A = this chain, B = another copy of it.
Amino acid sequence: MATRQPMQIGVVGLGRMGADIARRLMRDGHSCVVFDLDPDTVTALEKEGATAASSPADLVGKLAPPRAVWVMLPAGQITGTAIDELASHLAAQDTVIDGGNSSYRDDIRRAADLARRGIHLIDCGTSGGVWGLERGYSLMIGGDADAVEPLRPIFLSISPGIDTKPRTEGRTGQPDPAEHGFLHCGPSGAGHFVKMVHNGIEYGMMASLAEGLNILHHADAGKDNAEGDAETAPMEQPEFYRYELDIAAIAEVWRRGSVVESWLLDLTAAALLRSADLEEFTGRVSDSGEGRWTSIAAIDEGVPAPVLTTALYSRFASRGLDDFAGKALSAMRKGFGGHDEKRQ
């Protein structure tokens, strides 16, 4: 594990994550041939030592076989198209690493396709976001061991490295790859499956923090408590809800010694320090595929994931996608109780 012999690798897709991955590789002495549809990003990386390619074909031509190409594109459909194009120039024994957020089901299908031509497809769930250059990326890898094993020096350079965290109690001797921050999870799709569940957990942890902060935010609800009417019960014990809490300071104090210590908490503390009211945000929360797929996987497997799915649904609701349901509820209330909807 200690040897990090230099390799040559192609990188397709030079957005924030793709470019930073190339930088981590070059920093460790690997040579990168890079391509992106935006020539400016290619030029920028070239100045940092990369070899520029003008097209997928050019990139393939500049790599010595057996080639390895890391594809780092944002969405599933674009990734699929790019891999198809790239693969048309590759040969048997070459390897494509899909580092994006593809569905693991697509990986399984695509790997089987490429395998017919002797080309390996590795799916590599890549976590780390915009901080990866500094922190390194957590890598969850799926595919044939024959293809994964030779790329170990690459994974070693991209992943954070064992020194970024104390060893887990009970681990001794030669570190496992997982302790460096990369893991060959299983056959094709396994990497993105694990990354998918990682993101599902992320949704739940984020929602846990967000709900808790919201309870703190409303800890003064007893101060301006309306007196209630037939529609709304008044707060029964307003004397227990008269706190005005400094939420930014609370997030900060939890960062050290508490049970909820986490990177998400660190980021939250930083955001609240910038603006305690988070004014730059509206509260309409996006979601991408992994959170959805995680819930679908739970349903398919028949295992309960109420926290993860509830976290997902809260995002849908934050974008107003339950409006019709709310209207139906108000209509029923009017139907049986004659209740008019209250305007705020």
User: Is the interface on chain A under 10, 10 to 19, 20 to 34, or 35 or more residues?
Assistant: 35 or more
Rounded to whole angstroms, the CA-CA distance of A131 and B289 in the bound complex is 38
Identify which of A83-91, A113-121, A183-191 touches chain B.
A183-191
Q: Is the CB of A338 within 8 A of B240?
A: no
Q: Is the CB of B262 within 8 A of A261?
A: yes
Partner of A302, one of B230, B310, B316: B316
Q: Is the CB of A281 within 8 A of B341?
A: yes
Q: Is the CB of B264 within 8 A of A332?
A: yes
A278 closest partner in B (C-beta): B327
Instruction: Indicate if A306 sits at the interface (CB-CB under 8 A).
Output: yes
Rounded to whole angstroms, the CA-CA distance of A219 and B127 in the bound complex is 20
Among A171, A214, A215, A330, chain B packs the most CB atoms within 10 A around the CB of A215
Q: Is the CB of B281 within 8 A of A327?
A: yes
Q: Residues 118-129 of chain A: 1 if any B CB is under 8 Å from the residue's CB, otherwise 0?
A: 000000000111
Q: Residues 302-344 of chain A: 1 if any B CB is under 8 Å from the residue's CB, otherwise 0?
A: 1111111111111111111111111111111111111101111
A240 closest partner in B (C-beta): B105
Instruction: Indicate if A292 sits at the interface (CB-CB under 8 A).
Output: yes
Q: Is the CB of B331 within 8 A of A271?
A: yes
Q: Residues 253-276 of chain A: 1 if any B CB is under 8 Å from the residue's CB, otherwise 0?
A: 111111111111111111111100
Partner of A212, one of B178, B201, B252: B201
Known: A243-B186, A253-B183, A278-B328. A299 touches B307 (CB 8 A): no
How far, in Å, is A78 (CB) from chain B's closest CB? 9
CB neighbours (8 Å) of A261 from chain B are 262-263
Q: Is the CB of B190 within 8 A of A245?
A: yes
Instruction: Indicate if A95 sits at the interface (CB-CB under 8 A).
Output: no
Instruction: Indicate if A236 sits at the interface (CB-CB under 8 A).
Output: yes
Known: A212-B294, A231-B286, A245-B186. A329 touches B206 (CB 8 A): yes
Partner of A256, one of B161, B233, B258: B161
How far, in Å, is A229 (CB) from chain B's closest CB? 6
Known: A204-B205, A211-B305, A308-B211. A324 touches B278 (CB 8 A): yes
Rounded to whole angstroms, the CA-CA distance of A219 and B108 in the bound complex is 15
